[in-house]
Amino acid sequence: MSNHILVVDDEQEMRNLLKFCLKTYDFKIDEAANGEEAFDKMMDHSYDLIILDIMMPEKDGFELLKSMQNEIENQVPVILLSALGDTERVVEGLRLGADDYIVKPFEPKELAARVESVLRRFKKIKLNTYTVEGLLFQPDSFHVSYQNRTIPLTKKEFQIFYRLASHRGRVYSREMLLELEWGIDYEGDNRTVDTHVKNIREKLNEQGYHKTILETVWGVGYKIPEANE
């Protein structure tokens, strides 16, 4: 059965582009021109994923994310559409529950890859487990293990590691990780993130996991590479 996706953007041209790109990959597509219309459709239909523009009239992307948290019973994964350099809005959207983002303009293959990755990840999360390069993540209990050996991560270490693991190939800057995991009002500096990543690497090594899974992107932040990188 095809996955049912709702695309939400106030520009008809963008909605047409999204529909064209996604139908090529056999997704079933609905559309909405603003958050209010999208919310009404979500009350009447069951969707597997939402592609959501942030800046819209009537009810913007942030307001829709809040409404989804408070009034939609079944959790639905969300990919944000963002403009280049719109980091602050992306961070706010991720903090409100969005699962990933894609920057406009985008390549059709990148969009499809993001959609398939989020859908695949969400299905695994619903089973309460997620496996990456031999590591078993259990998000509900903040637990990660390797060959039945627990990696003794703190909650913050788990959150950073799981965010990178569940968004493979996505580079997260130190600033973005700091805002997402500690909050925008946190007064610490970027070295806090570096320290947590260093601790994760050491704890993995102590439990016999010697793959270089957490990569430093010099001058930017960190990522866990795609499987074929």
- The string of pLDDT tens digits covering residues 53-95 is 988 887 888 999 988 887 776 678 999 998 877 888 889 899 8
- The predicted pLDDT at position 32 comes to 95
Higher per-residue pLDDT: 121 or 101: 101
Q: Which range, of 10-19, 87-96, 97-106, 186-195, averages the lowest pLDDT?
A: 186-195
State both tokens at 172.
Answer: 């997260």
- The predicted pLDDT at position 10 comes to 93
Per-residue pLDDT tens digits for 7-42: 999 999 999 999 988 888 888 999 999 999 999 999
Per-residue pLDDT tens digits for 136-181: 998 888 899 998 789 999 999 999 999 999 899 999 999 999 999 8
- Average pLDDT over the chain reads 88
- The predicted pLDDT at position 1 comes to 57
Nearest CA to 22 among 43, 40, 3, 41? Answer: 3
State both tokens at 174.
Answer: 């130190």
Question: Residues 178-205: what's their mean pLDDT?
Answer: 88
* 194 pLDDT above the threshold of 90: yes
Per DSSP, the residues of 83-135 read: ETT-HHHHHHHHHTT--EEEEES--HHHHHHHHHHHHHHHHHHHTT-EEETTE
φ and ψ at 31, to 5 degrees?
-135, 155
* 128 pLDDT above the threshold of 80: no
Domain residue ranges in the chain? 4-125, 128-223
Q: CA-to-CA distance for 79 and 52, rounded, in angstroms?
A: 6
- The predicted pLDDT at position 229 comes to 53
Question: Residues 198-206: what's their mean pLDDT?
Answer: 96
Right CATH number for 128-223 from 1.10.10.10, 1.10.40.30, 3.30.465.10, 3.30.750.24?
1.10.10.10
The CATH class given to the 4-125 domain equals alpha beta
